Amino acid sequence: MKNIILTSALIASALISAPTFAAPAKLAVCAACHGQDGNSPIPGYPTLAGKDKAYLVEQLNAFKNDTRADAVIPNNMNNQAKGLSDAEIDELSAHFSTQAPK
């Protein structure tokens, strides 16, 4: 009986503290222009929510190695991408690709 109570308490506390997946560390930077959930608050700035993860990774790498130029704010996305590691590109792309476009 004691074990059952203890187990239930552990399950309950695990449920209460269940982590909503930690946001990528660099998300705040991107969120200023693309929105926390990838739905851009600024007209003309692309929405990233729900876009294919592989597409987002490809675009960030293209900005990073200057094979894609930023047509809206010269060099901005190139500089943003140059500050990202491969792991951060992967993490941010995964985050935005799994958000719902509005």
Contact 50, 34 (CB under 8 A): no
Q: Closer CB to ligand HEC, residue 12 or residue 73?
A: 73
Q: Does the footprint of ligand HEC cover residue 70 (CB under 6 A)?
A: yes
Q: Closer CB to ligand HEC, residue 9 or residue 101?
A: 101
CB atoms within 10 A of CB 60: 22
Q: Whole-angstrom Cα distance, residue 66 to residue 60? A: 10
Q: Does the footprint of ligand HEC cover residue 64 (CB under 6 A)?
A: no
How far lies 17's CA from each of 9, 10, 12, 23, 29, in Å?
12, 11, 9, 16, 27
Q: Does the footprint of ligand HEC cover residue 56 (CB under 6 A)?
A: yes
Question: Where does 1-102 have alpha helices with state H?
Answer: 2-16, 27-34, 53-64, 76-82, 86-97
Give least dist CB 21 to ligand HEC, A.
17
Q: Does the footprint of ligand HEC cover residue 45 (CB under 6 A)?
A: yes
Q: Does the footprint of ligand HEC cover residue 33 (CB under 6 A)?
A: yes
Binding site for ligand HEC (CB under 6 A): 26, 29-30, 32-34, 45-46, 48, 56, 59-60, 70-73, 76-77, 80, 84, 92
